[in-house]
Amino acid sequence: MTMLRLFPLLALLLMTLPVHARDPHSYANLDQVRVSHLNLDLLVDFEREQLRGFADLTLDWRQPDARTLVLDSRELSIGQIWVTGSDGPWRAAQWALGESDPLFGQALTIELPGQPKRIRIEYHTAPTASGLQWLAPELTASGRHPFLFSQSQAIHARSWIPIQDAPAVRFTYDAQIRTPAGVLARMSAANDPRDAADGRYRFSMTQPIPSYLLAIAVGELEFRSLGARSGIYAEPALIEAAAHEFADTEQMIEVSESLYGPYRWGRYDLLVLPASFPFGGMENPRLTFLTPTVIAGDRSLVALIAHELAHSWSGNLVTNVDWNHFWLNEGFTSYVENRIVEALYGKRRADMERVLSQRSLHQELAELPPVDQHLVIDLHGRDPDDGMSAVAYDKGHWLLHTLEQRFGRELFDPFLRNWFDRGAFASVDTDDFVRFLRAELMDPHPGRFSAEELNAWLYQPGVPAHAIATRSEAFEAVDAQRDHWLAGTLAVDGIEVADWSTQEWLRFLDGLPDDLDGAQLEQLDERFKLTGTGNSEVAFLWYIKAIRAGHAPIRPRLNEFLVAIGRRKFVLPLYQELAKRGEPELEFARSVYAQARPGYHPITRASVDPVLQR
Ligand code: BES
Ligand code: ZN
């Protein structure tokens, strides 16, 4: 066939294919068949560190001649796969596991007779499943019971459930979970706070969700109500402090609803995980998972709750179709987070947080290759976690803030609310957003924001020159005091910190030069007791500055911090800073890591290992 004849044919073929027939990080043949419901039946076996049971998948076939279902899996041991009728298993199906890829796992290819509505996969997980952490009792607060929790985002659901692990696919789910008595199981689904810890649990998620929002936690958990539809689960030792810290949760829900429409998920509960949780928070629907490191005692880090709650609109309701469009999840969420903070804690606080976000973006841009500075990035063949940079979060936030400023809130707020309404329970990409923005704001209000400006945010590196930078008078006052002290014109005792918030402390520390001398660091520490502070964000920045200045006296407390906490955002940069300095810091880092590593999550280990060449 000549090229001339081939071309129109090819074009026709491409046009008839659904736009998102494949996901760059999934083996699934989404163009042929999609999972519409999952029924899980699992036993939680702490001795073997394994989930064991079966997954029933309800299938929605998309092409008449399709006979094959390809699922994602990673380190799963598959037993039998059954084609099921209405009354249970009916006949065994042929299946094969493909070659194992370090990033994407293994394709599980199932050959089916016809197009059955339901299949059953018997399987169990590996103790090393990348999406699970099994904690021995010693690694929990009480030391009485073991703990298990999942972290499925971005592509770890496949390590504990054979599934189409691609955010383009949404399904409802039910689960029956059996555990030893004395521990409570919770999932990202309807949870009845009155459940007794009797070892048998049932869950039901009636709204369709993508696989990365599948979640489970099992452990010694206590519940406290925070309001009519919100509450908190935590280990008994933490429940009091946690309930105090997150007392504003119900109000946050109300504020979000007033801006962006009804909260559509029923209850909104929080679950505080052991300190090895690798992230700050995870927006598992109806049940946000949290690091205990946000419990500062003074509610100063609750923007994180606002953030995870905001995902109930951006991310969980309107979902990025694949990880190349991650900014649609995190940029929108960071913007909404800031609006919640403003409504609850005032403009001064929201502005400070936005300035911190813009500054950390600039710091990260300095280290990132230009192509990874676009909002839309190309993660083909790469770990989707590589997309988890300040670009998606802070550059995304900044674009929305700029749009808000250009169009005014009277136009922008209803626009965003419509975006969530119109895209509810759908998976979308950046082109969907561009079309919507043009139709709803740019075309009806010409001259306020141009196509070139939009293009610069989405497809060019850096921050566009027209970006509106936030000013904070509070921070200018902090800067002035710091500069005076550094210049020797203000004594350390003269620094006026009585009314400083955590955000002002972060600003103060962030602006310190890297070459402070030992005497200066001692002065600060003597007066402000920074080493060993219970505020994890402040402690983190202080330790970074102290490491860069080669200040050894922090070591015992830094050691404790790195052993007690497994949040990747804190521990990874600290090990990196230590490693950068070479000996003797490298030796210190290695010895700390040897103590800490057994308590770290697989995700954190995978990030730190290469830094210390393990
Ligand atoms: N969804 C993210 C966490 C995530 C992203 C996990 C990508 C795995 C892959 C969550 O909403 C989040 O952004 N958490 C932040 C806190 C937030 C306040 C910036 C975190 O964990 O640091
Ligand atoms: Zn987020």
Counting ligands in written order, the one closest to the CA of 213 is 1
Residue 25 identity = H
Closest ligand 1 atom to Cα of 311: 11
Q: What are the residue numbers of the active site?
A: 308, 393
* pTM: predicted TM-score of the whole model, two decimal places: 0.96
Q: Which ligand neighbours the alpha carbon of 338 most closely? A: 1
What is the rounded distance in angstroms from the CA atom of residue 436 to the CA atom of residue 355? 28
Contact 432 CB / ligand 1 (< 6 Å): no
Which two three-digit tokens encode residue 66?
Answer: 């399709």
pLDDT for 15:
40
282 ligand 1 Cβ < 6 A: yes
Ligand 2 centre from 64 Cα, in Å?
39
From the CA of 283, which ligand is nearest? 1
353 lines ligand 1 (CB under 6 A): no
Ligand 1: residue of 277, 282, 326 to mutate (most ligand atoms within 8 A of CB) is: 282
For the chain, the average pLDDT equals: 95
- Residue 588's contacts (CB-CB under 8 Å, 6 or more residues apart) are 555, 559, 578
560-583: burial string, b at 16+ Cβ within 10 Å, e else: ebbbebbbbbbbebbbbbbbeeee
Q: Where are the alpha helices (DSSP H) in 276-325?
A: 303-310
Q: Quick one: pLDDT at residue 426?
A: 98
The answer to whether 145 touches 128, Cβ cutoff 8 Å, is no
Q: For position 20, what pLDDT does the model report? A: 63
| Per-residue model confidence (pLDDT) at position 613 | 86
Query: 420 vs 228, 257, 398, 535, CA distance in Å?
Result: 24, 12, 19, 35
Residue 309 alpha carbon to ligand 2 centre in Å: 9
- Give the C-alpha separation, 410 to 413, whole Å: 6
CA of 306 to the centre of ligand 2 (A): 10
Atom of ligand 1 nearest to the CA of 385: 9
Residue 569 Cβ contacting ligand 1 at under 6 Å: yes
Rg value, the chain, Cα = 25
What pLDDT is attached to residue 10? 45
Closest CA to 153 of 57, 284, 277: 284
**Strand ranges in 222-317 using DSSP code E only, listed in sequence order:** 222-225, 230-234, 268-272, 281-282, 287-290
**Which residue from 203, 191, 256 is spatially nearest to 41, judged by alpha carbons?**
203
CB contact at 8 A, 504 and 478: yes
Q: Point out the ligand 1 atom lying closest to the alpha carbon of residue 291.
A: 21
Tell me how far the alpha carbon of residue 515 lies from the centroid of ligand 2, in angstroms: 34
CA distance linking residue 450 with residue 442, whole number of Å: 7
- Segments of the chain with pLDDT less than 70: 1-20
- Centre a 10 Å sphere on the Cβ of residue 298 and count the other Cβ atoms it contains: 13
CA dist 12 → 5, 17, 22, 38, 494 (Å) = 12, 9, 18, 35, 74
Q: Give pLDDT, residue 9.
A: 45
- Cα of 532 vs centre of ligand 2, distance in Å, is 28
